[in-house]
């Protein structure tokens, strides 16, 4: 399967958000990546339900919603109503992760789990068969524009091997410091989905940058 590209709206121009959403609609991008932060799990605050609903009203591609929040179980139904197509939750935030993923699916969304740079991939051994997406953070979560943590390459390879061992069909998504320089290495390691924020929205021609990311061959 060809790899997917998911521009992160955290790096979009909030004063011209509709314009940036329509740019992604008309590009070769596959998903919109939407980061939700609560100021508790990470030291930043971002999109809420109202903004997601408004993005959904314009978007023609799936909303890949990444929850960087405490107690995500409390809000699963609300994110479904707001228009999320995928919902990914951090490993640390779920006391009963298997149940959380099941509830996400019951609400008609694809279910994903996220691991931070300090988490060993082995933590996911008993849950990857129940996930649609596994998101590897290649920066510490909370802010866009951070430097890529190179250890993510090894962790992607380890995760790919684990998915094969567990007969899991989950997609491997990578978020943080993804650019044109390291994208080929990420794909070679086994990534299926590239999340790119600053690389896309701070480029001179975002549509062209998305096309370059999409057309990488490995």
pLDDT, tens digit (0-9, with 9 covering 90-100), for 51-84: 999 999 999 999 999 999 999 999 999 999 999 9
pTM, to two decimals: 0.95
Strands (E) across 1-69 are located at: 4-7, 32-37, 63-68
Using pLDDT thresholds of 50, 70 and 90, give the confidence band for residue 149. confident
Tell me the average pLDDT of the chain. Answer: 95
Pairing of strands 171-175, 193-196: parallel
Residue 159: C-alpha distances to residues 116, 118, 121, 125, 139 (Å): 13, 14, 6, 9, 17
pLDDT of residue 146: 66
| Rg over CA atoms, the chain | 16
Domain that holds residue 82: 4-214
What residues act catalytically? 35, 175
pLDDT digits (tens, 9 = 90+) for 13-54: 999 999 999 999 999 999 999 999 998 888 788 888 999 999
What gap in Å lies between CA 54 and CA 218, rounded to an integer? 36
Domain count, the chain: 1
Burial track 98-124 (b if 16+ CB lie within 10 A, e otherwise):
eebbebbeeeebbbbbbbbeebebeeb
Q: Give me the CATH number covering residue 49.
A: 3.20.20.70
């Amino acid at each position: 399967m060809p790899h997917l590209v998911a521009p992160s709206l955290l790096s979009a121009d909030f004063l011209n958000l509709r314009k940036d959403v329509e740019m992604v609609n008309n590009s070769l991008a596959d998903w919109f990546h939407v980061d939700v932060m609560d100021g508790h799990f990470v030291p930043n605050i971002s999109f809420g339900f109202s903004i997601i609903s408004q993005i959904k009203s314009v978007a023609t591609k799936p909303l890949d919603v990444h929850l960087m929040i405490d107690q995500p179980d409390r809000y699963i139904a609300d994110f479904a109503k707001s228009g999320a197509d995928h919902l990914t939750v951090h490993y640390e935030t779920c006391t009963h992760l298997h149940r959380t993923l099941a509830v996400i699916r019951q609400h008609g969304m694809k279910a994903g789990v996220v691991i931070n740079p300090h988490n060993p991939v082995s933590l996911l051994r008993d849950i990857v068969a129940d996930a649609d997406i596994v998101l590897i953070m290649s920066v510490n979560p909370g802010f866009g524009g951070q430097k890529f943590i190179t250890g993510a390459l090894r962790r992607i390879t380890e995760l790919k091997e684990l998915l094969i061992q567990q007969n899991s069909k989950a997609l491997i998504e990578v978020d943080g410091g993804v650019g044109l320089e390291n994208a080929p290495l990420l794909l070679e390691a086994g990534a299926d989905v590239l999340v790119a924020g600053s690389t896309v929205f701070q480029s001179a021609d975002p549509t062209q940058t998305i096309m370059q990311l999409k057309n990488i061959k490995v």
